[in-house]
Amino acid sequence: MNDPAPVKLSEMPGLPVTGVLYNPRSHRNRDANIVEPDYPVIRVEQPRRRRELKDAMQRFVDSGVELLVINGGDGTVRDALTGGAMVFGDKWPDIAVLPRGKTNALTVDLGMPKHWSLEQAIIAHRDGGRVQRQPMVLAPMDGQELTRLGFILGAGVFLAAIDSGQDAHKFGAFDGLAVGVTAVWGVMQALFGSDTNPWRRGAKARILLGEEMAELDHAPFGDPTTRAMIFLSSLSTFPAGLKPFGDFPGPLRLAVIDHLRRRIVARMPWVMRGYHSPEMEALGLHRRSTDRIELDLGDRFILDGEVFQPGRYCVTPGPMLNFVIP
């Protein structure tokens, strides 16, 4: 007896009007072409420049898209949400993310399979579940830059970690493995390097928290105008089982190390797994939860994998978004 022919998406009822934002430069999309399923996907957009994002998103709105599929890594997600904020207002479609980048921290947080397909994402809109996530809004206080939406911001040692992560990628380490390799290398540099080492130099920064704009304390050692590490996110789950914020709740969570003293570096394996104590605070490790952060940064920083220039920025919670999961 012959097996029944597979059901085509075009023959399945209740599937959404879908728009796909496709980044051909993402790591797992290189040398591959997007294959549109046998289904009336309204539009596939491949904007080559950021200034094209708004128009691409507007075409999704005009097409009545119910599901926005983002095909790429964390940087593609950041650009998609930044462009979407210009046109969707408070009426965002459901979102599905196909993890195709070198780093895919959001899909780790969502618990997504690494090889989720476009067809599976479309079917999951009908048959799967939803989880909500709230990106951060990074607004320049001088008004000279574009307001962006993203999930992970870092400065100081975080910038050095990203550079080392790129080196790890060159040797074939991606996702959780790249995080592990970078973490081990960073601990070695922080333990044995001098204060001129990029892993120990830190970043000039002033950090104000909450509506009252209270300045974050600085431990009584090291340069009081410099922080060794600044890490900020609205996510709760990270690659390799890391818990940089411990059990602090959202919506915005902040981890700061004032100076990479050897006493704190030696405890980093436990710190990155969530350990915290009054002793760690005295050593210059600060963890906070808030709904508003002002950053006056004198050095470059990272937002979802891309380097941005110094300046004054306000970080607040963004729109609550519905992400489709299997």
- Residues 166, 254 within the same domain: yes
pLDDT classification of 66: cutoffs 50, 70, 90: very high
CATH number of the domain bearing residue 283: 2.60.200
Q: List the alpha helices (DSSP H) in the chain.
A: 53-62, 74-85, 105-110, 118-127, 157-170, 175-192, 198-201, 262-265, 268-271, 278-282
Domain membership of residue 246 (yes or no) is yes
Domain membership of residue 2 (yes or no) is no
Domain membership of residue 191 (yes or no) is yes
Domain boundary among 78, 105, 133: 133
Helix, strand, coil percentages for the chain (3-state, nearest 5): 30, 25, 40
Residue scoring higher pLDDT (191 or 307): 307
Please write the tens of the pLDDT for every residue from 258-282. Answer: 988 878 877 877 888 888 888 889 9
- Residues 269, 156 within the same domain: yes
Nearest to 304 by CA among 79, 111, 92, 132: 79
Domain boundaries, position 79: 9-133
Task: Give the pLDDT mean for 161-187.
Answer: 45
Q: Which amino acid is at 75?
A: G
Please write the tens of the pLDDT for every residue from 285-312. Answer: 999 999 999 999 999 898 998 889 999 9
